[in-house]
A and B are shown apart, each in its own frame.
Chain A
């Protein structure tokens, strides 16, 4: 009978400094020799990490009131418009919003500046009301002057993602980076065997309320992410092929660190943001042990032609070959390059490992697990 443990038991071991905590890469390497039963016996927690561009990100901010007060209706931060359609001095800074015509600077850069503790210029206008008479303001704000900075990202930590290639004779500028013509390169964007949702693909231990590493501090899974889709085909190792599940994440951006939150600009595409996420997976039983042992060679994804309007499916590749620098597609060798940083993903998994081993980070059971879904709706054009 293989060993089973509860999260409460694991937390007790963490607090007494006896928990065995490994990173997903370490356990994948160990899994070459050990069986799932042996891993379940020896290992309590496995830490994961990812650091890639995640467009669906942003930050709620509360500026504090002026005297006399103002119900801000149009707000810019360093000339980037931010969403002001909520209460008087609350706003949401969308990562991809840009300061037109300077479209290389956007919400992501504003978020990074605020996290770094730098001053940001705020300008706001309003019509003025009986209770909020002020009609305009221009000032400098920073991390210390504002009340809250709450990072809330509706879609992060994609479970697997496509590989992009370009069949056309022209350079393509995409969110998957610059794609050279005639299959000159292939880009991919996950941390493979280190990736959070690939280590618990059925999300048995990840759900609403899960405590995570988020941008350099502790954060939480708030909900399933947008475009959450668990209806993707699964390969023989139990991992979905192509992009599937996603997470909505929340955390205190005042405590975040620009080492793990970085603004990005993709040429002729736009602004995005690198977000660092790490999730600890409790090894509750042999099934989870088998999941966290997953190796890059066992994780596959779709290769899509970003040169074709419908992003035609051209084949499959596994992460071992993607990380090796070359894949073979229909007999043709294509040079590969990552867009998500394995180097920083490792640092995240290692940091989280250290925090747990030191008894400073306890695991949580999901308040509620996610419902499995079957697919996504497309937008129908009805007018």
Chain B
């Protein structure tokens, strides 16, 4: 079972196909819509997580292509606006993965993205709201 995130870009002219419905019903792909920005008559974007065995996922993506839906995989990453950070440490309190720690000597925040499990807790824990999810 593979779970990956994708940005789907829909053409302005609706295909009439209930795409996400079909992915679930016809392909048996588990779908989780993370972010939707779709309005009629315009290019629409959808950020969606799909879980299914690799082969099924591939078929689903092929199906979307046939419907003129662009499908680009993304890997979520966490970023923060370092230049605004005051090194208070509030984010390090919630980062159980150990990606955010306070350097003992410099008393500065250290971010090691490779340890991040994208739990998203730092997004709300930072009192300055410096963290963002980068959707790739």
A-side interface residues toward B, CB under 8 Å? 51-53, 104, 177-180, 184-185, 187, 262-267, 272, 274, 323-325, 335, 337-344, 346
Contacts and interface: CB of A to CB of B under 8 A. Distances in A.
Given A265-B129, A323-B104, A343 B86 contact: yes
Given A177-B125, A178-B121, A344 B87 contact: yes
Given A325-B101, A338-B102, A264 B125 contact: no
B135 interface: no
Given A272-B127, A338-B89, A343-B106, 4 more contacts: A177-B90, A187-B93, A337-B90, A337-B93
Interface of B: 86-90, 92-94, 96, 101-102, 104, 106-108, 121, 124-125, 127-129
Nearest to A273: B127
Given A267-B124, A323-B104, A346-B107, A340 B88 contact: yes
27 contacts: A51-B86, A177-B90, A177-B125, A177-B127, A178-B90, A178-B121, A178-B124, A179-B93, A180-B94, A185-B96, A262-B128, A264-B128, A265-B129, A267-B124, A267-B125, A272-B127, A274-B86, A325-B104, A335-B93, A337-B89, A338-B89, A338-B102, A341-B89, A343-B86, A343-B87, A343-B106, A343-B107
A179 B93 CA distance: 8
Contacts of A341: 86-89, 107
Given A325-B101, A341-B86, A341-B87, A265 B127 contact: yes
A185 B86 contact: no
Contacts of B108: 343
Contacts of B107: 341-343, 346
A324 B104 contact: yes
Specify the main secondary structure of chain B where it touches its partner.
loop
A179 B89 CA distance: 13
Nearest to A336: B93
A338 B88 contact: yes
A324 B105 CA distance: 10
B127 A53 contact: yes
A177 B86 contact: no
Contacts of B90: 177-178, 187, 337, 339
A325 B92 CA distance: 10
A130 B121 CA distance: 56
B89 to A, nearest CB: 4
Contacts of A274: 86, 88, 127
A324 B101 CA distance: 11
B88 A178 contact: no
B89 A339 contact: yes
B105 to A, nearest CB: 11
A136 to B, nearest CB: 33
A344 B86 contact: yes
Contacts of B128: 262-265
Contact of A262 (B86, B92, B94, B101): B86
Residue among B93, B96, B107, B108 with max Cβ neighbours from chain A (10 Å): B93
Nearest to A187: B93
Contacts of A265: 127-129
A374 B107 CA distance: 36
B102 to A, nearest CB: 7
